Amino acid sequence: MYFPNYVNGLESITNQDLLWINLEKPTREKIEIISKKFPIHELNIEDCLSKNQLPKIDRYEDHIFVILQFPTTIHKERTSPSFSQLSLFIGKDYLISINQGNLKPLTDLFHLCKTGDEKNIHNLMGGSPGYLLHSILDTLVDNLLHILMKIIGNLDDIEDEVFDDKVANAKEISILRREITTLRRIVLPLKRIMLEITSRDVKRFSTNMEEEDLMNYFDDINDHISKVLEALDESKETIEIYKDTDNMLSSEKTNKILSFLTILFTLSIPITVAGTFYGMNIVIPGSVNLGYGYFDYTPLIITVVLSAGTTGIMIYYFRKLGWMDF
């Protein structure tokens, strides 16, 4: 029979003989309240209060302590990806989940157990900690799949933008690389710990009637995690290719601009030289220095021929090198 209650002021749910306490935004006072009723080690209390513990599993005589990490929802505004720590105490007739309150699927699952009918609650919690652990992990892994689908969708969008010279997507590529890296850091230890739980702990915390089905259910979760990891590895390779392609195209575009500007500046040198003619102390038509014979214009003719010849030689050499092929 299901009924919601409180354990020393902490909200909990009981179904049959199974007790579930879900503590969000834990404080030392609240965890110490739990430790007075359940056999929680002082070191585990410190781990629960810390937000950046590495995933692990500690086994004791009558319970296990598990730390896992799951991603928080990635919003449309593409903020920095983040992950949240989930601490689990699993005993023979209880399960205690502790998190920072930003694992929305877990919060929704706990709320659903509080407000659902008896049949629905039994389907979610079952009658053993192993069954409830499966429901929690299955919900969080499903959310992990949804986040992965968003990342793959963003990856497809970037594919169309990489070859568009008018779109700058270096920032988008960097954000997506960070999201993929964050997820891989979460999924790799998750896969390892889930394999340990499946092989060593499911039988300890499930009834004889549930044992065979739970093994299949946990194997299904492990299969989903493996598929997520494979997709992340493929996405990591793809985004690296996009990054290299974007860098190459950006460098090529920059080189073309610099080449054009360099050639433009170089070709302006003879014009600059010609503009200095009138600052020379030679006979030039239209200047204050007047000439009275053809030989008086000889310095001007020599300067013009040299400037035109130099310009022609530079243009021929640049075209031969392919620098003027735009």
What pLDDT digit, counting tens, does each position of 261-310 carry?
887 787 777 667 666 765 666 666 655 555 555 566 676 677 778 778 88
Establish if 154 belongs to a structural domain. yes
What token pair was written down for 199? Answer: 């092989």
Res. 77: pLDDT tops 70: no
Residues 107, 62 within the same domain: yes
Confidence at residue 310, expressed as pLDDT on a 0 to 100 scale: 80
Instruction: State how far the alpha carbon of 219 is from the alpha carbons of 139, 176, 213, in Å.
Output: 15, 30, 10
pLDDT of residue 2: 39
* Domain final residue, candidates 250, 278, 294: 250
pLDDT for position 1: 38
For residue 183, give the nearest of 111, 222, 233 by alpha carbon.
Answer: 233
State the Cα–Cα distance between residues 140 and 314, nearest whole angstrom.
67
Q: Are 88 and 68 in contact (CB under 8 A)?
A: yes
Which residue segment(s) compose the domain that 218 sits in? 2-250
Asked if residue 326 belongs to a domain, the reply is no
> What value does the mean pLDDT of the chain take?
81
Q: Verify that 199 and 315 share a domain, yes or no.
A: no
pLDDT digits (tens, 9 = 90+) for 24-44: 888 888 888 888 888 888 888
Say which DSSP state 197 is in. I
308 and 270 assigned to the same domain: yes
Residue 209 sits in the same domain as residue 190 = yes
Provide the domain count of the chain: 2
pLDDT for residue 84 is more than 70: yes
Residues 281, 181 share a domain: no
Confidence category of residue 98, pLDDT binned at 50, 70, 90: very high
Higher pLDDT, 223 or 172: 223
Distance between CA atoms of 174 and 155, rounded to whole angstroms?
A: 11
